[in-house]
Chains A and B, each alone.
Chain A
Amino acid sequence: MKQPFEQVVEQHGGTVLRVCRVVLGVHDAEDAWSETFLAAMRAYPGLPEDANAEAWLVTIAHRKAIDVLRARKRQPAPVGKIPEAPTELGVPGAGDGDLWQAVGALPEKQRQAVAYHYVAGLAYAEIAGILGGSTDAARRAAADGIKNLRKNYPGAATKGTPS
């Protein structure tokens, strides 16, 4: 039985917000969240009942984020700023600015792989489906992303190895 869309928002809204924040930075995350859920609501009646709603939402969020990233690259770059530069990374609440600097400095693929695996909890096979490429490549991108984060954000806890 298909649950009311309100419950989808209730259950996955927080995760999608964090995914958008890691992929896009704090500044664009809210717009990406809004566009993701509006698109999801439009498509929701056609979603199979046994579908993994979170993976489905992350896939939509991924596409919306790509739109934002493309639009950002099209915008005339301010003097001296190249498109791949760390993004505007405001900090929500009392968060840690250094972490967001480090996340923003990651290459796009690594940032996405980290978001989809470590924030959304998707399996590497699902992430490969979203990013294109192989499961191994998705695993590698996430591992490299975490390695870079550790290197550039020494404040990060170092408990064990990421699975």
Chain B
Amino acid sequence: MNTSPDYFASPADPETLSRLRHRLGLAAEAEGLLDVAYTTIESPVGTLLLAATPKGLVRVAYDTEDHDRVLSTLSQRLSPRVLRAPRRLDAAARELDEYFGRQRRAFDLPLDLSLSSGFRQLVQRHLPEIGYGQTRTYRQVAELVGNPKAVRAVGTACATNPLPVVVPCHRVLRADGTPGGYVGGPAAKLALLTLEAA
């Protein structure tokens, strides 16, 4: 008899598995095992991956960053207990929706900045001080964090921002007014600046 794995399969398996996986996410959360929960949302700047630890939102990633690679990095750097479990991201997803719908100008979310450290984290902590619709140059941000010579390091801090959109590195421009680089690509940076200028 041909007993391939399919032999004991059922047409209802995909549905059953999706229900079981949902249940696993809830149980893991209840047992304190869900070290990293993630989900993906659609936005005007493409599909965004949102990931959170119990402390707060830890990663926002653009499609261009390759979500599989981002998840592998989270698994290595934070914990391999990574599950797609959207519930922990409900508030972040809602606030981002509101932001893209021009209903929100600032984010009110617990953040976990443990993916960055030192000067980079210091810069990222200060970036939310640049208000909605405003921009600063890399030099101004260097001055803001009390290290006016660290213009290049500010650029690196912006480029390695683990929480783009929410931590507004898109509001930092070159001194000549051109946008400069962006983790989500220049088109995404321009789209956010345009959204906020309207």
Write the residues of chain A forming the contact surface with B, with a CB cutoff of 8 angstroms: 1-6, 9, 13-15, 17-18, 21-22, 30, 33-34, 37-38, 41-42, 44-45, 91-95, 103, 114, 118-121, 146, 149-150, 156-160, 162
Contacts and interface: CB of A to CB of B under 8 A. Distances in A.
Report which residue of B8, B12, B27, B82 has the largest number of chain A beta carbons within 10 angstroms of its beta carbon: B8
Contact of A41 (B9, B13, B16, B81): B81
**Binding site secondary structure of chain A:** helix
A17 B16 CA distance: 9
Contacts of A42: 31, 33
Contact of A3 (B9, B21, B72): B72
Closest 3 CB pairs of A and B: A92-B10, A4-B82, A93-B12
Interface residues of B, number: 35
Contacts, number: 111
Interface string B10-43: 1111001100110110011001010010100000
B44 interface: no
A14 B15 CA distance: 11
Given A38-B27, A38-B31, A92-B16, A5 B83 contact: yes
Contact of A34 (B8, B10, B23): B23
Contacts of B24: 9, 34, 37-38, 41
Contacts of B81: 5, 41, 44-45
10 contacts: A4-B83, A5-B75, A5-B83, A38-B33, A42-B31, A92-B10, A92-B12, A119-B3, A146-B3, A159-B1
A157 B76 CA distance: 46
A37 B81 CA distance: 11
Nearest to A149: B1
Nearest to B75: A4
Given A4-B75, A45-B81, 9 more contacts: A4-B82, A6-B84, A17-B16, A38-B27, A38-B28, A94-B10, A103-B8, A118-B7, A146-B1
Given A1-B76, A18-B9, A45-B81, A6 B1 contact: no
B5 A4 contact: no
Nearest to B20: A33
Given A13-B17, A13-B21, A44-B81, A4 B9 contact: no
A102 to B, nearest CB: 11
A159 B38 CA distance: 45
Contacts of A34: 20, 23-24, 27
Contacts of B80: 2-5, 44-45
B17 to A, nearest CB: 5
Given A5-B82, A30-B16, A118-B3, A95 B72 contact: no
A138 to B, nearest CB: 16
Contacts of A14: 9, 13, 17
A2 B11 contact: no
B64 interface: no
Contacts of B2: 157, 159-160
Contacts of A149: 1, 3
Contact of A2 (B7, B8, B76): B76
Nearest to A19: B8
B188 interface: no
A4 B74 contact: yes
